[in-house]
Amino acid sequence: MHEFYNRTLIIFLCMLAASAFLVFFCIDRSHVAIPLQDLGDRDISWHIRVDTDAAENGKSVLEVRETSPTLRYAFTVSPHTRNPHAAVDIIFDDGHGKQVWHDLTKYATTSFIVKCVPANTLTLTIPTFDPTISRRDDMLSYRIMSAFFKCNEKPARVVIDLTRMETQQWWFDMFKMDLSSHHYRLDQVPKFAFGSTIQSPTETHSEVDIRELQLNGRDYRYPIGAALALVIGWTIFGIWFFRAHARALVADLNSRMHRDLPLIAYQQLSMEPHRDKEKAAILRYMAMNYTNPDIDVETVGRDVGVTRGKINDVLKSEFGFTFSGYLNKLRLTEAARLLSEKDAATVAEIAYSVGYSNVSYFNKLFKEEYGSTPKAFRAVART
């Protein structure tokens, strides 16, 4: 069984290492980051459009100076209109300038590094199609989600939770919507927009740099795949272990039984007569009386007429056992034979028949000798 357990330990450690590698690999691959500002081929194509209050006769201006790898623009907000604003729209397209709507539901956050001169409070707005209100070509009917962020002359990373953005107040007012209606989906998004807020300085030349803009999410196919692979793998390992353990246990018990057969004294004496009369007398006496629960070394010495030391010397030289060790070996070997051959006898009856008056003590010794309980041994011996 030692060889089986050593092999099983090696397989278990390999399985454990493979499982850990699979888990870490799948967790790493499950984190999805889609850069929006790469110079090369982008997963999401877009183009820039300026949006100011000019349509409302406002005088706010915005100039885009660079789009990639850094979105750099300058603007000045003029207060001479009802809703002064200046924004730069990142409009999703098909790569040829035609606007498209992207499903961003698998992304949880967007992140970027921003620098503003002078310090400012800006907003990220995301219009999303609301099937109950929105009209495809009317951007004002889209639910406008927004999040505010601060920036200054020192570049700082901003992370915005796309699942917790706020709907702008005017949208609720325009469509007479309940203010508690916070649910939205980002399954049809036409653009991102970075713009000024009511706290942006007016009549002030402001510059903004945004870089490393990306969408971050989780691809749950990897964790699910890893979980399925682990369940299947460890199930197969468990089935193999129990089957292989049963085979190894049967082989080990059979080996022990065949190894111990020569120790059954009455068989040994009939096949191998001993020349030493004292030795023969000791072995014959124990073969005839090992089932006596009261037998001890003093009893054997008195009845055979030899000293205690002689008994121990004989058993040590012949079998390598002390008196109690040899006595237990005789009893347990006979118990193993009876368990494998007599289905009708209970464990307690067999324990009593081989000289044990305490069944619990018998069970303990039997498990130490054969590596299994008497009941388990009998079940294996029947296979």
Task: Dump pLDDT digits (tens) for 133-169.
Answer: 888 888 889 999 999 999 999 999 999 999 999 998 8
Asked whether residue 270 carries a pLDDT value surpassing 50, the answer given is: no
- Give the pLDDT of residue 315: 86
- pLDDT band of residue 1 (cuts 50, 70, 90) is low
- Give the pLDDT of residue 64: 96
Asked whether residue 193 carries a pLDDT value surpassing 80, the answer given is: yes
Identify any residues that bridge with 77 across adjacent strands, giving them in sequence order.
202
More confident residue, 251 or 26: 26
- Give the pLDDT of residue 320: 86
Lowest mean pLDDT among 103-117, 276-290, 353-367: 276-290
Asked whether residue 109 carries a pLDDT value surpassing 80, the answer given is: yes
Asked whether residue 368 carries a pLDDT value surpassing 90, the answer given is: no
- Percent of the chain at pLDDT > 70 equals 91
Lowest mean pLDDT among 50-64, 98-112, 164-178: 164-178
- pLDDT band of residue 259 (cuts 50, 70, 90) is low
- pLDDT band of residue 316 (cuts 50, 70, 90) is confident
CATH number of 36-219: 2.60.120.430
Return the structure tokens found at 110: 């967007």
Which residue spans of the chain are classified as CATH 1.10.10.60?
264-382
Helices 221-260 and 2-30 cross at an angle (nearest 10°) of 180
- Decide: residue 19, CB within 10 A, 0-12 exposed, 13-18 middle, 19+ buried: middle
Lowest mean pLDDT among 64-73, 233-242, 373-382: 373-382
Which residue spans of the chain are classified as CATH 2.60.120.430?
36-219
Asked whether residue 267 carries a pLDDT value surpassing 50, the answer given is: no
136 contacts 126 by C-beta, under 8 angstroms = no
Query: For 202-215, how does the pLDDT look when each residue is reduced to its tens digit (9 = 90+)?
Result: 999 999 999 999 99
Asked whether residue 262 carries a pLDDT value surpassing 70, the answer given is: no
CATH number of 264-382: 1.10.10.60
- Give the pLDDT of residue 92: 93
- Give the pLDDT of residue 272: 46
- Mean pLDDT estimate for the chain: 87
- Give the pLDDT of residue 274: 46
Query: For 293-306, how does the pLDDT look when each residue is reduced to its tens digit (9 = 90+)?
Result: 889 989 888 988 88
Asked whether residue 333 carries a pLDDT value surpassing 80, the answer given is: yes
More confident residue, 186 or 137: 186
- Give the pLDDT of residue 66: 92
First to last CA, the chain: 18
Asked whether residue 380 carries a pLDDT value surpassing 90, the answer given is: no
Mean pLDDT of 84-99: 92
